[in-house]
Amino acid sequence: MNDFDSAFDENKLPSGINVLTILTFIGSGLGVLSGFWSYFKSADNLANMEAMVNKPEFEKFPEFVKKMYSPEALDLVRKVDANKLPIAVITILSSFLCVYGAIEMRKLKMSGFYTYIVGSVVPYIGYALFVGIAFITSGWTAYIGIAITVLFIILYGSQSKFLVKK
């Protein structure tokens, strides 16, 4: 093996970190789009939900549909609409924190892992502050989001052996 090949192997990005960071870039891009989308569509979501509840045929809907339009769910949507700017800012900034953390981890820096964790957890804290803890536990989509967040932190943690403190 020549010097060029050995130098290339030393600087090679581990495949686990490579895959995770690419998925983070995709997810964070979707997070930025979600932040803008929720900001601009918040009032429409509230109006549509209130219109649905006030329809005469609403009483004929199955119980699981009625639960999605419960007074508690309607109250959550009202709180989200009232706090749409801080929620959008938190969502967008935390997505950028995750991207920055992923970029740093691609440079094999441990600080990127910590930045990623902050970017992943901050939205849940922000939502709890502005909307209430019920938003975080409001349904299966929230649970899937929490599960993905925890999964990525665990997976990045398993790759931390390749990261150095710089």
The 10 Å Cβ neighbour count of residue 96 is 13
DSSP reduced 3-state for 1? coil
Mean pLDDT of 122-149: 83
20-69 pLDDT, tens digit each: 999 999 999 999 999 999 999 989 988 888 888 888 887 888 887 777 77
- The residue extents of the domains of the chain are 15-162
State in Å, rounded, how far the first CA of the chain is from the last one.
29
Most confidently modeled range among 4-18, 67-81, 102-116, 121-135: 102-116
- Token digits of residue 10: 């030393």
- Helix H or strand E encompassing 158: helix 140-158
- Helix H or strand E encompassing 150: helix 140-158
- Contact call for residues 77 and 131 (beta carbons, < 8 A): no
Name the band, by pLDDT with cuts 50, 70 and 90, for residue 11: low
